[in-house]
Structure 1
């Protein structure tokens, strides 16, 4: 059984609020780049960029990053392997820029840690900020988002899933119970 915690309108409002907060915190969009973490973070970053363009009247750079080979739970990677960027598309120079990493759900922090490693392999931003649609708690690493659509207290037996019309044909966030095997 799943319970909807954000519907389409709530997702839209949360992203609009995050866009305004990003502009306010950065005093505009100069030297700002949004980087979505694959997969759903990319779509959220693009939507934020559209909202920022509507507000500011100019476009903000958007890129995406694949953190697969930076994950600390990747068992096939050996210590001799150099990490490879696969599927990463950041055309803007991130050196000395403000990078806003964007993801759908923040849980343990391990995905964000991997994204930070991947970003640092590309260049050296002046600042890295984090925007998430949902912060569900249960952090294993000292990572805190700068911009949050909604805080959702959960138990570890629950799963929080952000569904986006770009890939799921619907915009909503649902909580379900983990199924035991």
Structure 2
């Protein structure tokens, strides 16, 4: 997946977020939380496009799922529309960990999941509310979203031998 296609996909996803906000949260009660490094880069791009297409200014927050102290860095999500963002969803373990941590501390109005790429093969009972592209993979395959200087660059499918 090229950088141009990633950009087009994330722009479309930002428009979908805007439509959901108009429907569910008329005020700007959006909290964007990007998971780990690549999810945060994805959230930054969605925030940029929300500003461009809908004049919605929001600052994405980064949540490091495997850092026990990271929950202290999550902003107040009470009575907000929380959008958890990751680059790729596979088993759902990372997303489930983030959901659990946030719901143990806060009571958002709505929590939705946005992912650039959905690989399928879920082990946890959750899905993506906003998906850029679905790429059904075999269990021996892996998709990696590459970063260049902290920004999304390309997505590559690797086949394990």
- TM-score, normalization by structure 1: 0.81
Higher relative contact order (CA 8 A, sep 6+): 1
Please say which structure displays the higher CA radius of gyration. Answer: 1
Structure 1 CA distance for aligned equivalents of residues 27 and 93 of structure 2: 28
1:42 aligns with 2:25: no
1:40-79 correspondence runs (5 A):
40-69=38-67
Structure 2 CA distance for aligned equivalents of residues 52 and 102 of structure 1: 14
Structure 2 CA distance for aligned equivalents of residues 87 and 96 of structure 1: 17
Deviations 1:50-85 (A, max 9, x none): 11011222312421111105xxxxxxxxxxxxxx32
Secondary structure of the residue aligned to 1:171 is: strand
Correspondence for 1:175: 157
Secondary structure of the residue aligned to 1:15 is: helix
Structure 2 CA distance for aligned equivalents of residues 62 and 29 of structure 1: 17
Correspondence for 2:31: 33
1:93-172 correspondence runs (5 A):
93-167=76-150, 171-172=153-154
1:17 aligns with 2:12: yes
- TM-score, normalization by structure 2: 0.90
Length, aligned pairs only = 158
* Structure 1 portions without partners, runs of 5+: 1-5, 70-83
Cα RMSD of the aligned pairs, angstroms, is: 1.8
- Per-residue deviation at 1:108? 0.4
* 8 A contact 1:66–1:88 mirrored in 2: no
Which of structure 1's runs of 4+ aligned residues deviate more than 4 A? Answer: none
Bigger helix share:
2
* 8 A contact 1:163–1:171 mirrored in 2: yes
* 8 A contact 2:117–2:135 mirrored in 1: yes
* Structure 2 portions without partners, runs of 5+: none
